[in-house]
């Protein structure tokens, strides 16, 4: 029986991940310098019977809580649910198919600060590739990986922390309101959260001293996944852009998606209205101290063909 | 306006005739210009067909996607 509250909660959504969850938990605990300070909080996001999270009996299982959702929440709402059940002061948000570098918890405790989100290095388990946070692509509202490591000796601000490795104090996560549950299922949650964090006055700092090795889907699996998720992803991009972009760019964004995804745009626009995207924009304008323009200036952001981003 | 964009006629104009869409909704200035120029954002292949940019939360970079 646990007598000491954990300081770090490893938070992950899992939908049909099965044994991969147990391997992730085992890695997080096995690689930790102080495993007694770690708990895992898993949201079983309406997995099928064969795909439910499986964690080995013993120490791993004692340090793991699995919350079952009978509805498909999607990654954002699932992470929020896991965070609500977390006991740790720090949240290490990751995916259900990752491996942790040795001593990760020591580094996280050393580097975190009240208004700081850590972005950790993401490795591909099948190659030498590494990602060092992401950057925003506007007006599409997608992202690109940073593949060059940040310069040493500097505080490496990045625009977006990856879903595979985002570390944040639970108090800050709650103050920010977690991930946007107006988005659906998959796509856009992490960049929207990151941009909102920047607008709220937090910073996102990348570290190369913590690495998470991630299982990227093989091409065939990726293609099938995207085919099923595309409408949700189009909607989420539109909602993200409606929430944050200068107003003069919003229609441009919509037309871009209409050109690229003609079979998905109508349903995405209907969802956008039903889920009150403009209300969300107004709410963020009232509550956040900084506009999107501050994010643009900080990172000298240009649009995806190199043009300046307008102020309004 | 975005609600109206879900109508089939408006969607066709959004894709193929942004000038008509801009006229219908009284758009002017930078919004109108950016709407018209949005095609520049979408790459085309050698046949002139639009190429889907598979950009999403975990991005396709050097083959690393989801």
Per-residue pLDDT of chain A (312 residues; tens, 9 = 90+): 555 788 999 999 999 999 999 999 999 999 999 999 999 999 999 999 999 999 999 989 999 999 999 999 999 999 999 999 999 999 999 999 999 999 999 999 999 999 999 999 999 888 888 999 999 999 999 998 898 998 876 679 999 999 899 999 999 999 999 999 999 998 899 999 999 999 999 999 999 999 999 988 777 777 788 888 899 999 999 999 999 999 999 999 999 999 888 899 999 999 999 999 999 999 999 999 999 999 999 999 999 889 999 988
- Token readout for A272 is 């956008």
What is the dihedral angle through the alpha carbons of A218, A230, A164, A82, rounded to the nearest 10 degrees? -130
**Residue A40, H or E segment:** strand A38-45
Which of B15, B34, B65 minimises the CB distance to A252?
A: B34
At residue A88, the pLDDT reads 97
A46 DSSP assignment = S
Angle, helices A189-199/A292-299, rounded to nearest 10 degrees: 90
User: Is A208 part of the contact surface with chain B (CB cutoff 8 Å)?
Assistant: no
- The domain containing residue B6 runs over which residues? 1-66
Question: Parallel, antiparallel, or unpaired for β A134-137 and A142-145?
Answer: antiparallel
Domain count, chain B: 1
Cβ within 8 Å, pair B40-A190: no
Tell me which residues of chain B, numbers 3 to 22, contact chain A at a CB-CB cutoff of 8 Å.
3, 5-6, 8, 11, 14-15, 18
Residues of chain B with pLDDT under 70: 43, 50-66
3 state DSSP class of A90 = strand
CA-to-CA distance for A97 and A214, rounded, in angstroms?
A: 6
Across the strands, what pairs with A168?
A: A91
CA-to-CA distance for A165 and A98, rounded, in angstroms?
A: 9
pTM above 0.90, yes or no: yes
Which of A217, A277, A305 minimises the CB distance to B41?
A: A305
At residue A80, the pLDDT reads 98
Tell me which residues of chain A, numbers 67 to 106, contact chain B at a CB-CB cutoff of 8 Å.
none
What is the dihedral angle through the alpha carbons of A215, A219, A222, A224, rounded to the nearest 10 degrees? -140
Q: Among the residues of chain A, which ranges form H helices?
A: 19-31, 59-62, 75-85, 104-111, 170-176, 189-199, 219-244, 247-260, 265-274, 277-287, 292-299
- Give the minimum alpha-carbon distance from B36 to chain A in angstroms, rounded to a whole number: 8
In order of start, what are the domains of chain A with their CATH numbers? 1-99 (3.90.550.10), 112-302 (3.90.550.10)
User: Is A16 part of the contact surface with chain B (CB cutoff 8 Å)?
Assistant: no
Instruction: Tell me the ipTM for this assembly.
Output: 0.82
SS3 content of chain A, % helix, strand, coil (to 5): 40, 20, 35
User: Is B56 part of the contact surface with chain A (CB cutoff 8 Å)?
Assistant: yes
Q: What is the CA radius of gyration of chain A?
A: 19
B5, closest residue in chain A (CA to CA): A269
Cβ within 8 Å, pair B14-A254: yes
Across the strands, what pairs with B61?
A: B64
User: Is A306 part of the contact surface with chain B (CB cutoff 8 Å)?
Assistant: no
Residues 6+ apart with CB under 8 A from A115: A172, A201, A202, A203
Contacts of A247 in chain B (CB under 8 A): 31
B7, closest residue in chain A (CA to CA): A266
CA-to-CA distance for A205 and A241, rounded, in angstroms?
A: 23
Residues 6+ apart with CB under 8 A from A190: A134, A160, A161, A162, A163, A166, A179, B57
A37 DSSP assignment = G
Q: Among the residues of chain B, which ranges form H helices?
A: 8-16, 18-24, 29-37
């Amino acid at each position: 029986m646990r007598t000491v509250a954990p300081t770090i909660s490893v938070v992950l959504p899992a939908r049909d991940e099965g044994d991969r969850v147990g391997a992730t938990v085992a890695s997080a605990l096995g690689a930790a310098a102080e495993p007694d300070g770690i708990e895992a909080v898993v949201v079983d996001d309406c997995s099928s019977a064969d795909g439910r999270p499986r964690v080995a009996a013993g120490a791993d299982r004692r340090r793991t809580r699995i919350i079952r959702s009978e509805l498909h929440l999607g990654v954002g709402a699932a992470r929020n649910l896991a965070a609500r059940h977390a006991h740790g002061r720090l949240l290490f948000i990751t995916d259900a198919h990752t491996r942790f570098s040795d001593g990760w918890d020591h580094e996280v405790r050393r580097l975190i600060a009240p208004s700081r989100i850590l972005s950790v290095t993401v490795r591909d388990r099948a190659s030498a590739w590494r990602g060092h946070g992401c950057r925003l692509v506007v007006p599409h509202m997608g992202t690109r990986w940073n593949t060059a490591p940040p310069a040493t000796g500097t505080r490496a601000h990045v625009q977006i922390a990856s879903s595979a490795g985002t570390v944040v104090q639970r108090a800050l996560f709650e103050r920010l309101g977690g991930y946007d549950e107006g988005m659906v299922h998959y796509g856009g949650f992490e960049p929207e959260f990151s941009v909102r964090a920047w607008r709220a006055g937090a910073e996102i700092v990348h570290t190369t001293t913590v690495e998470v090795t991630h299982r990227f889907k093989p091409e065939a699996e990726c293609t099938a996944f995207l085919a099923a998720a595309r409408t949700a992803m189009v909607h989420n991009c539109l909602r993200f852009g409606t929430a944050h972009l200068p107003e003069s760019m919003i229609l441009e964004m919509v037309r871009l998606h209409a050109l690229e995804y003609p079979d998905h745009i109508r349903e995405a626009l209907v969802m956008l209205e039903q889920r009150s995207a403009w209300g969300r924009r107004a709410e963020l304008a009232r509550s956040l101290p900084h506009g999107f323009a501050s994010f643009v200036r900080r990172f000298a952001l240009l649009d995806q063909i190199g043009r300046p981003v307008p102020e309004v | 306006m975005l609600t109206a964009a879900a109508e089939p006629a408006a969607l066709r104009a959004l894709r193929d005739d942004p000038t008509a869409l801009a006229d219908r909704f009284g758009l002017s200035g930078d919004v109108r210009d950016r709407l018209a120029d949005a095609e520049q954002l979408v790459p085309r292949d050698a046949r002139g067909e639009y190429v889907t940019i598979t950009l999403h939360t975990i991005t396709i970079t050097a083959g690393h996607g989801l």
